[in-house]
Structure 1
Amino acid sequence: MNNYDAIIIGAGACGLMCAVQAGMLGKKTLVLERNEKPGAKILISGGGRCNYTNLYTSTDNFVSENPKFLNAVFAQWTVDDTVAFFENFGNIEGQEKTLGQLFPVSNKAKDIVATFTQLMYDTGQDIWLNTLVKELKQEGTGYVLTLERNGRIEYITAPKVVFASGGLPVAKLGASDFALRTARGLGLEVVPTAPGLVPLTITGKEADWYASLSGNSVYARVYNDKISFEENILFTHWGLSGPAILQISSYWRAGESFTIDLLPKFKLRELIAAERNAGGKRTVGQLLQGYFTKKMVEALARFLPIDVKIASLSKADANLVVDTIHQFKVKPAGDKGYDKAEVMRGGVSTAELNPKTLESKKYPGLYFGGEAVDITGWLGGYNFQWAWAAGYAIAQDI
């Protein structure tokens, strides 16, 4: 027999926060992690710098069948709580980058993980690394887990189990559908999953045009009928990436198109009019070179009369130039899949969970948090804020 109050599957952001918060309340937990070290995804986030929250977090920054589900959790654990937690327990001060993104001043994700490993030690929590959880079964008023550890199959029981095992992105870090398979096996609803915050691919006759611009970054507004994002886009040899593309990908479905305003800070029609008033001696291409790289202007020659002088530009061609730059249509063929995705869309339906505790409504003592749930944040620290808040909320109930 063991004396664990709960077993937590996954030593990621949600699982680690859950363990230390439970420990602070005098509980004893065991964290099971299939990797050889905790916080594997934390360590690579933000290029190893870890954008650990966003100062402007609200339910509007999440994709879910029911984003308002987050209200009860975020009421318990706020962005201020996250900032204070890392300042007090990790001596980590945050520095704001763009759009409310908060990084450690040290720019080291390992400082975030070190905060948790120290607190795990201080509060007497246990962690088993290189441990694969293979099955969960309900037994009496608790649960029994089948583990593969040290080359052997073992069994362990606990009155409460927390699924903080993440989702499908980045298989090399141990990504797994274990939480989803278990939920389905228990008869819980799982919202269909797909890669989120993921680069998009272009194939067919347009592919060579995008590839010719590989490496070029453009500040743009990317939008569809659901949402709009204004950040950089990056052309690649297989399509499009960059912050604005990753953001729109969570609101995109196969077969759909979206629009890019390649010059969101200016009104090209007004620039053309001003050029006409100045004599219109410059060509369309020369005008555009004031706002784009030479390579970009050359590529746009495929669609635009860039060698025509502004003074000679017909109304129809002027409209073509304006519409192409401000309303550039894109219809991706697909995405780069889970290995290139930052997160997973979909997951265990929020309808199955208590919004305050994240406990299963059908299975007492069984909790789901983090990426396994149908809660997907935007790029920029939102997913970490959800993970910390979920871990805290679950710990309060444990």
Structure 2
Amino acid sequence: MNADAIIIGAGACGLMCAVQAGYLGKKVIVLEKNAKPGAKILISGGGRCNYTNQFASAEQFISENPHFVKSSLSQWTVEDTISFFDTYGIQGGEKTLGQLFPVDKNAKDVVQVFTSICSDFGQEIRCNADVTEIEVQPQGFKVTYQKNGKNIDLTAEKLVIATGGLPIPKMGATDFALRFARKHQLKIVETAPALVPLTITGKDEEWFAQLSGNSVFCEVSNDQMSFEENMLFTHWGLSGPAILQISSFWRRGEVVNINLLPHQNVVSLLDEERKSNGKTLLSTLLNRFYTRKFTDALGKFLPLNKPVASLTKAEVDLIEQTIHQFKVKPAGDKGYDKAEVMRGGIDTNEISSKTLECKKIPGLFFGGECVDVTGWLGGYNFQWAWASGFVIAQNL
């Protein structure tokens, strides 16, 4: 045996697993297809790395089995993540909604923590290693990978597949874990891009495109979920935190409801303005809450140049509906190129929730994004990656 375990994938889960295995005196070899470890960590949060969320719990994860993550999240808590990084000089500062980013550090420093500890423990990270074959043997696993045109074989009693999901192919994302799972008759929950911008086409396309660059704080919802955050108009549709969040719950053909003024009642505002100054134009009132460009765009639907005192009941109803129940039917999403994570993945019924070991193939573990566990935007997916890496390491 070349090591106690082979870990395929030097992303967040694989690196945490290697480090935690090192603490336990276990020798691992990490195989990474890219030229450097932590490729997706390095681009997360615009290079700043939103490495966890103070409010992380099972409630912020999407899975066919919503209880599955509870065991991992209790074995490795948010406090454990904060303490771990704090120990290695990375202190967290809250940006918004519980999101923690390194203070005075960035994503490179986060990756450096893992590579340094791996080096201290003698854990090998072999980059530019493209795994071509996995053979399940009676005593463990034989993994074949290609490097510089040569085939290299490794054997170990335990194998960890932490190869991530399908988003951002240019970062080396592949369907490796899913292909392996299918080959061994493991069930897969249908996959789709998640935390992804939504596209608008057809007759409304031009209206959205003209607002490109404008951001509006709003409540975005569908029948399943609602989120209050900023929505960003783009030349091809909608993005921004609120849209990315709802995209994980959106299905093609569905309408998305947008409350453009979630903390106010536009009818009450009109009543108050009518009493104080009925000559105020509707556009003047709306400009208090939106950019002039966005208010002007609403002129397609609303009588902007009318004084509030002159508005008819039908017009007030129209204003209320437009502001508080703006409906959008996206044509689709921007796909895996622009998605932050993948929805779906290896069915959690195939994996022990306590150990993350594959039930049908003893000694094999799955962690991170390739499993049917998808977190909300805001550091939740990293918390799952760290937790799953820790849990697997305890059971190698």
Deviation at 1:279, TM superposition (A): 3.9
Of residues 351, 355, 358, the one that matches 1:357 is: 355
Distance in 2 (alpha carbons) for counterparts of 1:308 and 1:141: 80
Of residues 148, 161, 164, the one that matches 1:163 is: 161
Match of 2:119 in 1: 121
Distance in 1 (alpha carbons) for counterparts of 2:281 and 2:307: 4
Deviation at 1:301, TM superposition (A): 0.5
Match of 2:258 in 1: 260
Contact preservation (8 Å) 1:50, 1:107:
no
Distance in 1 (alpha carbons) for counterparts of 2:179 and 2:68: 23
Deviation at 1:3, TM superposition (A): 3.2
Contact preservation (8 Å) 1:48, 1:107:
no
Deviation at 1:146, TM superposition (A): 2.1
Distance in 2 (alpha carbons) for counterparts of 1:107 and 1:170: 24
Q: For residues 216-249 of structure 1, what are the alpha-carbon distances to aligned partners after superposition, in whole Å with 9 as ceiling and x for unaligned?
A: 0001110111111000000000000000000000
Deviation at 1:73, TM superposition (A): 0.7
1:222-233 counterparts in 2 under 5 A?
222-233=220-231
Number of residue pairs aligned between Structure 1 and Structure 2: 396
Q: For residues 123-181 of structure 1, what are the alpha-carbon distances to aligned partners after superposition, in whole Å with 9 as ceiling and x for unaligned?
A: 11111100001221211231112211121122222111101100100111100100000
> Gaps spanning 5+ residues in structure 2: where?
none
Distance in 2 (alpha carbons) for counterparts of 1:135 and 1:261: 51
SS of corresponding position for 1:115: helix
| Alignment of 1:189 onto 2:187 | yes
Contact preservation (8 Å) 2:2, 2:155:
no
| Alignment of 1:23 onto 2:22 | yes
Match of 2:284 in 1: 286
- Amino acid paired to 2:58: T
- Amino acid paired to 1:251: F
Match of 1:234 in 2: 232
Match of 2:91 in 1: 93
RMSD: 0.8
SS of corresponding position for 2:280: coil
TM-score when normalising by structure 1: 0.98
- Misfit runs of 4+, over 6 Å: none
Deviation at 1:10, TM superposition (A): 0.3
1:356-395 counterparts in 2 under 5 A?
356-395=354-393
Match of 1:319 in 2: 317
Match of 2:47 in 1: 48
Deviation at 1:213, TM superposition (A): 0.3
Deviation at 1:306, TM superposition (A): 1.0
Deviation at 1:105, TM superposition (A): 0.4
Match of 2:72 in 1: 73
Of residues 160, 166, 170, the one that matches 1:172 is: 170
Match of 2:140 in 1: 142
Match of 1:348 in 2: 346
SS of corresponding position for 1:395: helix
| Alignment of 1:109 onto 2:69 | no
Distance in 1 (alpha carbons) for counterparts of 2:4 and 2:281: 73
Match of 1:205 in 2: 203
- Amino acid paired to 2:219: R
Distance in 1 (alpha carbons) for counterparts of 2:241 and 2:182: 33
Deviation at 1:314, TM superposition (A): 0.5
Distance in 1 (alpha carbons) for counterparts of 2:25 and 2:355: 18
Contact preservation (8 Å) 2:62, 2:374:
yes
Deviation at 1:286, TM superposition (A): 1.4
Distance in 1 (alpha carbons) for counterparts of 2:135 and 2:322: 57
TM-score when normalising by structure 2: 0.99
Match of 1:304 in 2: 302
